[in-house]
Amino acid sequence: MRILAEFDLDHNFAVVNVHGSLDVQVGSFQHAQESLHHGEKLVLIGRAISGEIVATNIKLNGDSRVSEDDEDLDCKISEAWEGGPLISVDGKIVGMNLFLTTTRAVFLPWGTILKHLEHYWTSQQKKTGLSQSKTLKLVRNPIGQTSNSKSGQSSVTRVARA
């Protein structure tokens, strides 16, 4: 069962609570990359409409913000990349992709994602009285192993509390 717990349309951010038994491996976000450098090579991961996992290399070349007069708004946007992880070539998490155009990737940096999660967990803690976990984990199904999905080939990436 999945429940939309919180969303912020201004920052294109949502928290979805997933309840149920999941066949997943857990990896730590402790090695997330804090700072980005102009010209740095990154890997963007997405999922094609067919369900196939796709990846592309991009080079960080400046501002990731979008303004109303930005040419990106007129470019073709590929939905396969929306919400996909953006990682450095050495495997550190950089952020979450918002969209990819023919000219660049626009993404939420990892620090911004953490701020949103901290806000969400603080509000949840106030509502429920439960303590907040200090550890963030990356949860994903191993590629090629059976999952709870009908196809058995899902490789879901999401953020979860420990």
**What is the CATH number for 35?**
2.40.10.10
Residue 82's pLDDT is 77
Higher pLDDT, residue 103 or 55:
55
Range of the domain at 73: 22-161
151 pLDDT higher than 80: no
Residue 137 lies in a domain: yes
Higher pLDDT, residue 134 or 90:
90
Half-sphere exposure of 102 (CA within 13 A, CB side): 5
Closest alpha carbon to 59 in 10, 9, 94: 94
Residue 8 lies in a domain: no
Name the phi and psi angles at 34, rounded to 5. Answer: -90, -40
Return mean pLDDT, the chain.
66
Residue 142's pLDDT is 44
Residue 30's pLDDT is 56
Give the H or E element holding residue 124: helix 110-128
Residue 31's pLDDT is 56
Count of domains forming the chain: 1
Residue 62 lies in a domain: yes
**Average pLDDT score over residue span 54-80:** 58
Q: Which pLDDT tens digit goes with each residue over 4-60?
A: 877 777 766 677 777 777 776 555 555 566 667 777 888 888 888 788 888 888 877
pTM: 0.55
Residue 123 lies in a domain: yes
Three-state DSSP class for 41? strand
119 pLDDT higher than 70: yes
Residue 52 lies in a domain: yes
Distance CA(9)–CA(157), nearest Å, equals 21
Residue 1 lies in a domain: no
Q: What percent of the chain has pLDDT over 90?
A: 0
**136-140: strand order across its sheet:** 25-28, 136-140, 157-161
Residue 7 lies in a domain: no
**Average pLDDT score over residue span 93-112:** 75
Residue 140 lies in a domain: yes
**Average pLDDT score over residue span 58-83:** 56
Three-state DSSP class for 141? coil
121 pLDDT higher than 60: yes
Residue 62's pLDDT is 63
**Average pLDDT score over residue span 141-149:** 41
Kindly report the three-state secondary structure assignment for every residue of 48-117: CCCCCEEEEEEECCCCCCCCCCCHHHHCCCCHHHCCCEEEECCCCEEEEEEEECCCCEEEEEHHHHHHHH
